[in-house]
């Protein structure tokens, strides 16, 4: 068994235990070769273990490392390495200063709907990316959701994950996963698919919103599984848009549940802050009031003039409002763009009835945010938001790559480059965005001296 200050694999110095599960121990460690803090997950050898048990433990560790390393997403814990040392298997993971969602629920009780939706959207976006790679997590629970102090959430522990069509490592007829969060089809022993992860995330969000799993917990495992298979679900006590989405995710019929990508979009819409009403500056209000008074005086003068003379006065041409403009909003971490609609041709003065005001074509916006950086590189998250008053069926984001910057890899989108111009289109599964919904894609980039400038993004519906 490892202990503090123990150096394993010749490079990882264990600093202290930070977690423990039924089959593993998690340590905070120092990677002395790369001079960084990591998390080391140990799958210890049990006393009296048979060769078959040792082989299963080794296979599980390698399996988790292979699957998790395929998923590169800002809301999934990254796996850096896997190895065997003194009879135990170890996985080296990204270290995230955080607490599990379970700990937060125990500490705070039921959480606010918007906070739950925000966490749910982040986890759903990572799982949607996993599903796009054909990976099922199989154990989505509050224990496996890590949350930082600033609200960033990441999914971890792909220990029982598997690829679509792959047989579970435990063998046929064995139920894997945490009982309180199992989908009915899994609890009944029929195996699971992508909708099973949707159900488990719904049960996780239900626990955060209500303070307890949808079918309760308790020590009587068989009674719990019977309640799940019989769909004895107690409706949420906190009704609202989030409860409606959670109930959809908990539908007994897998075909009626939303896809993980659709769930991510629905949760993003709930997590988005309400739009603030436009505020008219004080000076502008004074100018508007003065203009109104002047209009009243002008109207009174016109009435007097018309009644005092029989000759009609020539009518003044109506005032044209200044042309409206739409500009890019560029901050240190985000950019959005909109395309102005062409101006309508001006009608002759005799036929004018109202001034034509240009209106920006509805579309989408893209927000660029550097989430992690290191010497010579950075990780970027781009959030695509539907600004249309209707469903968006596809999107394209483009920008000019700043000097000294090169994209190394990209996920949740299809990447092409034409010289310094970068074009990212949706990945198919995240193309559909409901009104005011959002999705994300991410990338890793190399940054040389002088690079790292935040580009201006253009987002267009496709």
**Res. 421: pLDDT tops 60:** yes
Contact 37, 28 (CB under 8 A): yes
CATH number of residue 131's parent domain:
1.10.510.10
Block residue for tokens 């598997």: 162
User: Does residue 56 share a domain with residue 34?
Assistant: yes
Residue 123's pLDDT band, with cuts at 50, 70 and 90, is very high
Q: Which of 81-90, 223-232, 257-266, 341-350 has the lowest mean pLDDT?
A: 341-350
User: Does residue 70 share a domain with residue 103?
Assistant: no
User: Does residue 88 share a domain with residue 117?
Assistant: no
Output the pLDDT for position 188. 80
**Res. 257: pLDDT tops 80:** yes
Q: How many Cβ atoms sit within 10 Å of the Cβ of residue 318?
A: 11
User: Does residue 240 share a domain with residue 217?
Assistant: yes
Q: Report the domain count for the chain.
A: 3
- The mean predicted confidence, pLDDT, of the chain is 75
User: Does residue 371 share a domain with residue 267?
Assistant: no
In a domain, residue 27? The reply is yes
Task: Select, from the ranges 36-40, 57-61, 90-94, 391-395, the one with the highest average predicted confidence (pLDDT).
Answer: 36-40
The set of catalytic residues is 139
User: Does residue 115 share a domain with residue 40?
Assistant: no
Q: Tokens representing 359?
A: 């209106």
Q: Tokens representing 107?
A: 């500490």
User: Does residue 106 share a domain with residue 39?
Assistant: no
Residue 398's pLDDT band, with cuts at 50, 70 and 90, is very high
Nearest one of 67, 68, 5, 17 to 42, comparing CA atoms = 17
In a domain, residue 336? The reply is no
Once rounded to an integer, what is the mean pLDDT over residues 256-264? 93
Output the pLDDT for position 172. 45
Rounded to 5°, angle at Cα 402 from 401 and 405:
85
Model-level pTM? 0.59
Between these two residues, 340 and 43, which has the higher pLDDT value? 43
In a domain, residue 1? The reply is no
Which of 66, 94, 122 is where one domain is finished? 94
Output the pLDDT for position 411. 79
CATH number of residue 88's parent domain:
3.30.200.20
Structural domain of 246: 99-271
Q: How many angstroms separate the CA atoms of 368 and 365, rounded?
A: 10
User: Does residue 166 share a domain with residue 121?
Assistant: yes
In a domain, residue 447? The reply is yes
Which of 240, 271, 302 is where one domain is finished? 271
Output the pLDDT for position 415. 87
Which of 228, 250, 271 is where one domain is finished? 271
């Amino acid at each position: 068994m490892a202990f503090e200050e123990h150096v394993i694999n010749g490079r990882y110095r264990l600093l202290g235990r930070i977690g423990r599960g039924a089959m593993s121990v998690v340590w905070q460690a120092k990677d002395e070769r790369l001079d960084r803090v990591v998390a080391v997950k140990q799958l210890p050898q049990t006393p009296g273990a048979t060769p078959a048990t040792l082989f299963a433990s080794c296979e599980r560790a390698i399996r988790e490392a292979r699957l998790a390393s395929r998923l590169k997403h800002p809301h999934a814990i990254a796996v850096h390495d896997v190895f065997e040392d003194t009879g135990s298997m170890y996985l080296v993971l990204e270290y995230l200063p955080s607490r599990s969602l379970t700990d937060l629920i125990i500490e705070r009780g039921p959480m606010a709907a918007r906070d739950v939706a925000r966490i749910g959207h982040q986890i759903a976006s990572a799982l949607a990316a996993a599903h796009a790679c054909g990976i099922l997590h199989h154990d989505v629970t509050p224990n496996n959701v890590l949350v930082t102090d600033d609200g960033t959430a990441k999914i971890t522990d792909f220990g029982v994950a598997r690829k679509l069509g792959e047989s579970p490592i435990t063998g046929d007829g064995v139920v894997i996963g945490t009982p309180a969060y199992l989908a009915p089809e899994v609890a009944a022993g029929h195996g699971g698919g992508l909708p099973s992860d949707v159900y488990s995330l719904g049960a996780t969000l239900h626990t955060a919103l209500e303070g307890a799993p949808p079918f309760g917990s308790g020590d009587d495992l068989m009674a719990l599984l019977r309640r799940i298979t019989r769909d004895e679900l107690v409706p949420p006590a906190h009704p609202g848009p989030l409860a409606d989405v959670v109930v959809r995710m908990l539908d007994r019929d897998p075909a009626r549940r939303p896809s993980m990508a659709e769930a991510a979009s629905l949760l993003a819409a709930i997590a988005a802050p309400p739009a603030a009403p436009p505020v008219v500056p004080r000076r502008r209000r004074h100018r508007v009031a003065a203009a109104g008074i002047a209009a009243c005086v002008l109207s009174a003068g016109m009435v007097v003039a018309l009644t005092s003379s029989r000759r009609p006065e020539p009518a003044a041409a109506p005032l044209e409002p200044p042309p409206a403009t739409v500009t890019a909003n560029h901050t240190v971490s985000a950019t959005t763009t909109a395309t102005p609609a062409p101006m309508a041709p001006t009608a002759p003065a005799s036929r004018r009835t109202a001034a034509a005001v240009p209106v920006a074509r509805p579309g989408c916006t893209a927000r660029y945010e550097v989430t992690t950086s290191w010497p010579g590189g950075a990780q970027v998250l781009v959030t695509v938001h539907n600004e249309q008053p209707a469903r968006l069926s596809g999107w394209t984001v483009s920008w000019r790559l700043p000097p000294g910057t090169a994209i190394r890899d990209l996920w949740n989108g299809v990447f092409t480059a034409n010289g310094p111009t970068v074009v990212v289109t949706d990945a198919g599964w995240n193309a559909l965005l409901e009104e005011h919904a959002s999705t994300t894609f991410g990338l890793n980039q190399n940054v040389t001296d002088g690079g790292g400038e935040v580009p201006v993004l253009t987002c267009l519906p496709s």
